[in-house]
Amino acid sequence: MLNISENIIPEKALKKEEFKSIEKAQSPKILTQFSKILYSIMTIIFLMLFLPWTQNIRSNGVVTSFLPEDRPQTVNTIIPGKIEKWYVQEGQYVNKGDTIIHLSEVKDSYFDPQLLKRTQEQVVAKEQALKATNNKAAALLKQIQALEQGQLLSIEKAKNKLRQTELKLQSDSMDMIAAKLDQSVAKEQLDRQQVLYDKGLKSLTELEQRKVKYQDATSKFISAENKFLASKNELLNAKIELNSIQAEYADKLAKAQSEYNSTLAYAFDTEGSIAKMKNDLANYTIRSGNYYITAPKSGYVIKALKAGIGEIIKEGEAVVTIVDKNSVNAVELYVKTMDVPLLHKGAKVRLQFDGWPALVFSGWPGSSFGTFGGIIQVVDYVSTNGGKYRILVTPDPDDIPWPEKLRIGGGVYGWALLNDVPIWYEIWRQLNGFPPDWLGENGEGAKDEKSIKQVDKKAEY
C-alpha cells in the first residue's frame, strides 16, 4: 500500500484472494523459506569458523621395521659358484641356519677334491723342515760356542808361550851379557900376560893358558849370543803364532756365524711359508663351508633373485630376500623441508593404512574412524627422497594397536598433529601460505604474542 489516500481499508475487510494482482505482487513462500534456510546455513558456517581445528602436516610413506635387522634383507653369496640344488621356495618359512642353496666350485684353483688334505700335508712337511732347520741352527750355535771356547784356550796358550819366550829371551840376554863380560876380562888378562911375557916375567906356558881361557870365553860369548838370537826368533814366532790363532779362529767363527744366520733366515722364511699355508688352509676350509648358503635369520623367503639349476652366481651377488616374521612395525613418512622444523621426537601422528577402510577428518582427529596412532621416533638430519626428510613412526602404546596383517612395503597416509586453532585462522593461514603454528615438545602451542611473532618471522623466512 502506498498510503496516498486518507481512506484506509481495513486489512480484514480486504479479501486478497479476490484480487489476483495482489496475490502476484506478494513474495513467493518458497523464496521466503529458502532465505531462511540460507540465513541459517550462513549462521552455521559463521559459527563453525570458531570451531577448533587441529593443524597437521600431511605426508605419504610405507610400512617398514623400526629395527634395521628386522627389515627385508638379501642373502648374498660370499664366493662365486654354480647352483647345484635349491632347498627352499618362495613364501617358505626358514629358521636361522637352514640351508637355502648348495653351490659347486667354478674356479679351477679349487677343483681338487683333496685340496684340504694335500694342503695339510704340505703344512706338516714344512713344519718338519722347520724343525730340522732349527736343529741345524742349534748345532751351529753349539759349534760357535765351542770355537769361541777353543779360541780363548788357544790364545791363552799362545800368550803363555809368548810370555815364556820373553822370559827365556831375557835370560839368554843376561847370559850373553855375562859371557861378553867374561870375554872382556879374559882379553884384559891375556893382554897383561902378553906384556909380562914380553918382559920375561911370565913363561910361555902361562901365556898360552891365558890364550886358551880367552878362546873359551869367546866361545861361550858366541854360544850365548846364538842362544839370544834364537830366543829372539822364538819370541817373534810366538807373536806370529798368536796373531795366526786369532785370525784363524776369527775366520772359523765368521763362517760358522754366517752359516748360522743363513740357517736362521731359512727358518724364518719357512715359518712365513707355514703361516701362509695355514692361512690358505683356513681359507680353503672356510670356503668349503660357503658352498652351502644358509639363512642369516629366521623369516620368510619372499623373493628368489636367482633361479634354475646350473646358473653361475658371482661373488657377493644376492640370491634371495628374507623378511623377519615378528618384525617391529614402523612407518616411514617423507615430509617437506619447510615442515621439518615443526616436528620433533615424541610428537603424535595419525596414520591411515592402505587396505583398511577409514573415515578421515584431518582437522578433527578424534572424529576420524579407521585411523591409528603413532609417535615420531626419528627425524632424519639429511634429506633422502627428492629433497624430503624421512621420519620414523612407531605405534602409540596409548592408542589402538596397529593391524597384525600389515605387510612391510604397504602404503601409508599420515598426518602429524600440531596446534589447535580456530577454523577461520586455519583458512586465513592457508590463503596466505603461512606455515602451521609450532607445537612445542611439551605439547603447548605458540599462543602468546611473542611466540606468534616468532612464527610469523619463520613464515616470512
CB 267 within 8 A of CB 130: yes
C-alpha cell at position 181: 863380560
pLDDT of amino acid 418: 66
Residue-level pLDDT at 138: 92
Torsional class of 200: left (φ above 0), alpha (ψ -120 to 50), beta (otherwise):
left
CA distances from 402 to 182, 370, 371 (A): 137, 10, 9
DSSP 44-58: HHHHHTTSEEEEEEE
Q: Which pLDDT does position 461 carry in this prediction?
A: 34
Query: In terms of pLDDT, which residue wins out, 37 or 442?
Result: 37
- Classify the C-alpha dihedral 344-350-354-356 as positive or negative: positive
Torsion 115-116-118-119 (CA) sign: positive
Joined together, the cell numbers standing for residue 197 give 911375557
* Among the ranges given (47-56, 148-157, 263-272, 435-444), the one the predictor scored with the smallest mean pLDDT: 435-444
Taking the C-alpha atoms of residue 70 and residue 297, their distance in angstroms, rounded to an integer, is 9
- How far is residue 456's CA from residue 369's CA, in Å, rounded to a whole number? 34
Mean pLDDT across 46-56: 68
Task: Return the residue matching grid coordinates 719357512.
Answer: 270
Nearest to 211 by CA among 230, 231, 191: 191
pLDDT confidence band for 423 (50 / 70 / 90):
low
Which residue has better confidence, 365 or 204? Answer: 204
What is the DSSP code string of 17-34? Answer: GG-HHHHHHSPPHHHHHH
Contacts with 20 (C-beta within 8 Å, 6 or more apart), sequence order: none
From CA 249, how far away is CA 280, in angstroms rounded? 46
pLDDT at position 268 is 92
Asked whether residue 460 carries a pLDDT value surpassing 50, the answer given is: no
Q: Residue 450's pLDDT band (boundaries 50, 70, 90)? A: very low
Provide the β-strand partners of residue 388: 385
Output 211 or 260, whichever has higher pLDDT: 260
Contact 317, 76 (CB under 8 A): yes
For residues 329 and 63, the answer to whether their CB atoms sit within 8 Å is: yes
Q: Are 1 and 19 in contact (CB under 8 A)?
A: no
Mean pLDDT of the residues in the chain? 80
**pLDDT score recorded for residue 449:** 40
Band of residue 259 on the pLDDT scale cut at 50, 70, 90: very high
d(CA 29, CA 43) in angstroms, rounded, equals 21
Residue-level pLDDT at 454: 39
Alpha carbon distances (Å) from 418 to 32, 333, 373, 421: 44, 16, 14, 9
Encode 5-34: b = buried (16+ Cβ within 10 Å), e = exposed: eeeeeeeeeeeeeeeeeeeeeeeeeeeeee
pLDDT reported for residue 275: 93
pLDDT at residue 134 in the model: 92
Proportion of the chain above pLDDT 90, given as a percent: 14
CA torsion sign for 116, 118, 119, 120 is positive
C-alpha to C-alpha distance for 172 and 405, rounded to whole angstroms: 123
Give dist(CA 459, CA 245) in Å, integer. Answer: 102
| Cβ pair 408, 63 in contact under 8 A | yes
Please tell me the predicted confidence (pLDDT) of residue 231: 85
Angle between helices 204-289 and 115-198 (to 10 degrees): 170
CA angle, 138 then 140 then 142, to 5°: 70
Residue 17: pLDDT above 70? no
* Distance (Å, whole) CA 105 – CA 291: 8
Q: What is the pLDDT of residues 189-230, one digit of tens each?
A: 888 888 887 887 777 888 788 888 888 888 888 888 888 888
Q: Kindly state the cell numbers that stand for 389.
A: 626428510
Is 449 or 171 the better-scoring residue by pLDDT? 171
pLDDT at 8: 60
What are the cell numbers at 135?
A: 736343529
Residue 272: the pLDDT is: 92
More confident of the two residues 452 and 165? 165
Q: For residue 451, what pLDDT band results from cuts at 50, 70 and 90?
A: very low
Percent of the chain with pLDDT over 70: 79
One-letter amino acid at 112 equals D
- Separation of alpha carbons 107 and 422, rounded Å: 73
Range with the poorest average pLDDT among 140-144, 366-370, 406-410 = 366-370
125-149 average pLDDT score: 91
Span of 104-118, 279-293, 321-335 with lowest mean pLDDT: 321-335
Let me know: does 387 contact 337? Beta carbons within 8 Å. yes
Over residues 323-334, the mean pLDDT reads 81
User: Which residue would you say has higher pLDDT here, 411 or 359?
Assistant: 411
Q: Is the pLDDT of residue 347 over 60?
A: yes
The DSSP-derived string for 314-351 is -TT-EEEEEE-TT--EEEEEEE-GGGGGG--TT-EEEE
pLDDT at position 398: 87
What confidence score (pLDDT) does residue 128 get? 92
Cα dist. 79→105, 133, 210, 286, 371 in Å? 9, 38, 118, 10, 48
77-132 per-position pLDDT tens digit = 988 999 999 999 888 899 988 999 999 888 888 888 888 889 899 999 999 999 99
- Select, from the ranges 131-140, 173-182, 435-444, the one with the highest average predicted confidence (pLDDT): 131-140
Per the structure block, which three cell numbers stand in for 11? 486489512
pLDDT-derived band at 364 (thresholds 50, 70, 90) equals low
Range 154-174 average pLDDT = 86
Domains of the chain in start order, with CATH, are 55-69+327-460 (2.40.30.170), 72-105+295-323 (2.40.50.100), 115-289 (1.10.287.2610)
